[in-house]
Every structure is written in structure tokens, then in C-alpha cells.
Structure 1
Amino acid sequence: MQLTRLDLATHDECWYPALATLTNLSYLFIELVPDTYDLPLLAEHLPVNLRVCVLFINQRWSEGDVVNVKPYASGEVDKRIVVGSFYDAGLSTQYVHRTIAEFPAYPHSPPNKTLFIGCSLKVTLILTLRNFTNHNTSLPGILFLLLALGLVQAQRPGCTAPTPSPGNGTCGAATATPTIAQPLGLEISKWIWTGENAVPAGPNPPGPRAFRKTFTSQCGKCAVSAKILITADNSYKLFVNGNPIGTGANFTDAEVYYVALQPSSNLFAVEVTNTEEGPAALIASILVQYSDGSTETVITDETWRRFLGSPKGFELPTTTDLSKWGFATFQGLYGVAPWGKTVVPPALSVKDAVVIWTGKFDNKTGVAPTVARAFRKTVVTPGCTKRAVSATAVIFVDNQFIFYINGAVVGSFASWREARVYHIPVLDPDVNVFALNGKNTGGPAAFQGVIQILYDDGTSDTIVTDTTWKAQEKVTAGFESPKLDDSKWVNATSMGRAITYRVPSA
């Protein structure tokens, strides 16, 4: 049993130093009924990847309490710590807002002196510790016992998915930094099929066929996301870990998809349909991004499993009986007839993105003053349970830009002929601020971009430049900071024109 959270209910504060031992835990829920409390001490001992919800119950706040606690309740001091109270209306609102979003499986009002260990909404193990508040009780000893028994194994630090088995190594905090996106091609991939026709690229009967590939991360590495380039003759449905990702029906044109991954094991599954008797085949290339910034490429080859049909649930990781599955057969290398070379799409499509700017500019020509402008877009993770994982961004500015994520530089570029594509490997799970310093050095000005954000539940959102972006006619110090209040900034202006430039391929 792998557990992702640890819940404590206690009157005691002697356990604070024990927090430093919880390096394999992702969530900690604490209920306190104290006469005294020390949130700075809590923060001091808190491992960097551990997120804590502190709920004060049966306590009314004094003026001093409010002064000391509210900065933590708002997340201003330490975003790892969420604070709430059932008595104070202001803090209670904050508790409800952040706790529902960040700690959806929180057991409401657990009894005091109880240690709760829950791995999900489905499984909760409750241990009652009668002497838990006794100073002689060793919380580190209790935690060590639980860890030793494998009851507390949580997410691997730095990952946004359940912890893999201990045999696959462990992950530390994500160390990858934003980079120019690594291109992906099909040149080393193979066209594969089922072997129903022994002649490669020969005619095959019509109907759906299922393909699967289970990818296991390298020992000690944590997979974060994947970029998938795929096409098939004649049509396909792509799944990752059981989630539908995309479809296509033109073998001359590949499609690119981005998806968040589990840290250690991931299932790529494809249903390919041959619509009429004739050649049939699948080809794909998958770039796996690890939390340390390294990558690994998976291709279609003879190690993929195949099934003569499309059995129900074949795309699910829980489907493990492959006794009736064979191995795929080689149909030809990339570029071979009858498929030839496949058209690779741009990294992301900008067709839905609006060309924006701010301040004065000529409505017909786009000519604008030769000054820098500031732009910001705050994106809040939707829903109550998902967490933002990573992003891919296509950014174009006429003439030059510096692009930021949460105050950190992603990259810079100067060209009115070409966009830049960036891979952003680490996002804040809840709120992300994208900011841009764009400068026009002469002639027309323009900013156009698209950002695809991946979530840990397999879904994604696409953010495009439009008039909801905030803009300012001057670039002020700290404009890129996520703490900046941009409520008084104006909305960006649509330039109402199309522009032409090169977007690098996937």
C-alpha cells in the first residue's frame, strides 16, 4: 500500500523537529488545539517538497494571533503552508478555498490524539495513539516505524504523481530548468503492424488493431512529461495511462501531443484502424522528460505488443493479461514506400492566438514606438484536485523579448522572422504567472504566443495571447514577480492583423 499523506491531530508542539524526517511525504494535515504555536518553527523544519495544511479548531483568535497567522493563511510567507480556522470567518474562507484545491482528501474534524494516514479517498488507515500528546512519546520513532513498514510512501519529492515502487529508485526535488524545446522527429522510428501479412507494407484486412508499450523510467529517474509525435495508416486513437489524448486520420501528416506522466511506469496505447484492405501501419516517437532535465526517446518497434482487434479496456494500465497479445512486426523504416516522409507539424499551433501590443501603434501598419512593453498572464489551475506539472510555450515578439515564469527567466530572443519554443519543466501546482518584456526596435510591433499547460490528471489547457493579458506601457522593476499586483494594469490591445513568421517544428 502506498500512501500520499499523513494527518496529525495533537495538542503538542514537540513534534516540530520530526518534520525534517518526512522527506518521502507529500502532504501533511495538522489539527492543533494549542495554547501556543510556532508557524515559523514549522516552516523551518518543513522539507522543501512537503505541503502542510494547519487547521486550528476550538480556538478564537486574539489580535496577535491574527497578525501572526494571516500571512500564512494567505500564502504570502510560505506557499507550502495552508492555515485555516473553523472560528475566524476570514481564515475559514481562506482554508476552504485553498484546502479544497490543494488537499481534497482532507478528513473533516478528525478526533484529537489520532494519527491519520490516508492514501486516497478510497483507503484511509486510522491509528489511535492514546499517549500521543505525552512528551515521552517519540513521534520520530512512530514515523520511522511507519516508513519502515512501507505504510507512508507518498509521492516521490519533485514528482506530481504517485510514488513508484521502491525498486525503481527515488526522485529528489525537480532540478530541471526551462530550456529551448528539444525537437522530435520520426527518422529513427519504425513503421509497425500485426504480422497478419508476412510481406512488409503488404495488404492487410480492414478493422481496428490495438498496440501497447509500457515504458519504465530509468532507475533513479522520475518521468515528468512526454512529447508524442504520431501518425498511422489509416486512423488512430492515442491513449496514455488510459486517458484519451488525441486522434488522427492522415498518415502523410503527423500530429504532436504533450502529456504529463507518472514517475516510474507509463502505458502508451494506440488503436489503429485500417479502413480498407491495403497497407496498414503505425509510427510514433515519444520524448520523455525527466525531472532532472534529461530525456529519453521511445520509438515504435518490435517491442510493442499488438492484438488482432481492439479489446475493451486494452488502453488501461490495469489490463495486465497480455497472454493473447503478440509482438508488433516491422513494416519499414521512416521514409519507406508507400508512406514516404511524413509532414511534422509546428510545436504548437498559433492560429487561435491574437496578435497583441499595448500603447500607441498604427492600426494599419502596426508601427509602434521603439520602447519596451510589459505583459502578464496569471493562470489558476482549474478544478479541485489537479495540479499543474509543466508547460510548452511558443513565443514570438517583433522585435525582441525576455520571457518569464513565476519571476524566473525562461529565455530571450530577438527576431521578427521566427518564434522560440520553450519547455518549462516545473510549474507551481496552483497558480502560475507568465510575464514578458517585449521591445520594438523599429517598424511594426507584435506579441503572439501560445502556452500548453499539462496537469497531473492527464488533461491540459492551452493559453493564447488575447486581450485578457495584462499590459503596461513601461517595464518596471519586478514586473515579472508572481507577487506583483497587476489589477491596475490595462488589458492588452488586439492589433487586428495577421503576421507571418516561422514556428519551429515539434
Structure 2
Amino acid sequence: MARFFLKALSSLLFAGFCLSSATSDVSAAPDVTSALSFSSSKWIWNSATATANAIVGFRKDFTPPLGKSLIAAEIIITAVNSLDLYVNGDFIGSGTPPHRGRFAHRFCVDLLPSLNVFAVNASTSASGTVTDAGLIATILVTYQDNTTDKLLTDSSWRAKGALPLGWETLAFDDTAWPVATVVGSYDVAPWDTVLVNIPADPPVLSFVEAEWVWTDVVPASGTLPAGSRAFRRTFTPAPNQVPASATIVISADNEYTLSVNGVTIGSGSNFKVAQRYTVNFATAPSEVVLAVLVTNTAASTAGLLVAMEVNMVPSGRTSCTAGAFLLTDNLWKSTKGAIPDGFEQPGFDDSAWPAVAVEAVYPAAPWGAVTIATVAPVTI
């Protein structure tokens, strides 16, 4: 109970200070090109064994050393299978699809000067195998004097299932929660098969884990009818994360035209040679809409393959780059009917479009490995 009152008192004492420091301290943030990694972090869970379709909450309290005052945190984080991240009770963002431990999200957040709480709810997949239950994170906290510290996922975190109301808030008392169980070290078996892609600046992007998709389930013959199909996928950034650029690699069997937020970006006609586009946003959009027109020129194999990394600059802060990934998977939408006018525009309503069919995970046959050619950046 004493700990609860200390948390509540700390929150009250520093809330007013934080409201003013959130703007006044922005210029004090260091100009850092972060090299954050998971190399020293641990995969953690609430037990040593996995349970299918489980949801587990994690909490980490952090109070700076005496004489230090916190201003911000840069966070890289992923989980198997999905996650929601909170800082001091505020929702920061989700580990949105692809729900794969192979892809981290990067967030930049302002902190209270003193006590802060990082909270995550994470879920497992339906299979419940040993590497289907895990959370890993590295948090770089920055002080007002421009020095930094790192917080790592380890057994100092607390973890619990059956989450009570308000579990993610600053004032919640988690002293009765058990400590987290370390289920593995990064890049050590069996987790060495889940080495993680981390959003970077500049981006490092490939087709790893992307899926070839189409509007039809592939028949046994492998032959799909000739014709054009329209595909769409919308990326909505986490709160206060402002898209600055997107790097996109794309290939299609046979031909494609790519649009981003209604602007034609480029096209291709050889699925063995993909294109890498860098799209810079002159005005930060509220969402990034990928729209692709793909034509199967003759009855044959057909498919679309896309990977995108979005880099974002948090509102009011320029020294930290946030980022996220988006791949072709069954969350893309398409239509088998006539191509509607304006389908590439951000405001187009695709809610009635069905989900695509997943054909194969790159680099599976019949397409195999694809080379990537870089195209000059564009600004929209």
C-alpha cells in the first residue's frame, strides 16, 4: 500500500512539471543516431511454458537516479504474437500485423521527470509452442542533461495473466505480481530462429517473411486467369508518430502500378526484378495508403509481393526516429470485380472488399528469390 501512495504522490508532484517540460526540453534532447539492439535483452513471459491464445501483462517501473530528470525514451519492442504498449497509462502503439516476432516496432515517447511505468499486454499464437510466447524490448531513456540509460527486458519486469482494470496505469500497485520468467536469450536457441528486423534510419528492407498474395486461392494447376486486380492496404501510425518517409520494395507477377496516398509512384513488369522506392512526405499524412493495380497478362501464375518500412518523427521531437513494418499478408484487401474509379485514393471505402488469399511465403516456388533495383526517391 505504501508503494501505491508513493506512486500516486510522485505522479501528482511531477504532472505539472511534465506538462511544461514536454515542450521546453525538446531542444535539450540529444541529436542521436541510435544503435539500439536486442543483443542484451531477454525474451520474457509469465511462465517457462507457452499456453495457446494467452494474454499476459508486463510492467516495468523506472525512477531515475538522484539528481537526474527524465525527458524521453526510445523503445524497440516485439512479441510473439502481438502486443499493445502503454507508458504511464497512455496508449503508445500496437505490434500491429505482421504479428510476427521477426518484426519490431520503434516508438519515441516523452517521459515524466521522475517515476515512469512501461506496460505491455502481449498475446501468444494458437499453437502454443515454446517460441510462441515471448516479449523482448530495449528502452533507451534520456535525461535532461543528455545522458542515457538502457532498460532491458529481464526478470526485473513483472508479469501476470488475467489483467485487472487499470493494470497499465502509473498508480496501479503491482507489488503482488510475480516477476517475469526469462524464457530465452536473444539469438540463442531456440530464439535464434526469431532474429528481429528493427526499423532503422536509413531503412534496411527485404522481402523476408513477406507473402505472395492474390485474390483467388491458387488451384492445383497453379494457373490463375488473366486479368487485372486492385489491392489496398492502409497503415495508420501510432499516436504522436508522424510519418516522414516510407521505403517500399515491390514485385508482381506479371505487371503492377503502385500508388501511395493517391499518387502514382512507379511500375514494374518483371517479377524477378523488384523495385525499391523511397517516398518522402512533404506534408505528414495521417495514414499511408498503398494501392496496387496488378495485371496477370495471361493465364498463368499471378501474385503480389510487398514489404514497407515507415519512418516517423514523433510530434515535437526530432532526435528520435520511430518506425514500423508492413508486409503483404492476409490483411490486404482486393476485389475480383471491375476496378473502381479512385480505388487508389486514401478516402476510398474498401470495407466491403474481401481479404486476399496467401499463396506462399517468400522465397517459395514458383517465384524463388527476387533481386531488388533501387529507384530514385520521390516526394509527395
TM-score (norm. length: structure 1):
0.36
Bigger RCO of structures 1 and 2 (CA < 8 A, at least 6 apart)? 2
Higher normalized strand content (fraction of residues): 2
